[in-house]
Structure 1
Amino acid sequence: MTNQIAIAIGLAVALFLGADALLFDWSNTLFLARKFADMIEWMAFWR
């Protein structure tokens, strides 16, 4: 991964988080965090 690609991905994530905070009151980020926690718990079960 080049520096340009890493910066572009970082900016895209920052823009998504900023838009989610301003427009949707963190609802999308909270949903994804909860689903990620569920996935980690499910994967730990299979380990």
Structure 2
Amino acid sequence: MPDPPLVVSGASGRALLMHPELGNQVVRTSLAIKTRLDQAGLAPRVLLPR
């Protein structure tokens, strides 16, 4: 059985919806997703814009 998808919901999801970021400046969104992936035991890398 596949693992369930990672979902950003509750307070985290509301915070992302209440404070949208521009497409090329998603610092807060990137940090939230990285945190969730860290909690899931994964080791994500954040790619910085050039």
TM range (shorter): 0.3 to 0.5
Compute the TM-score of the two structures, normalised by the length of structure 1. 0.41
Q: Higher helix fraction: Structure 1 or Structure 2?
A: 1
Compute the TM-score of the two structures, normalised by the length of structure 2. 0.39
Higher relative CO (Cα under 8 Å, sequence separation at least 6) belongs to 2
- Which of 1 and 2 has greater Rg? 1
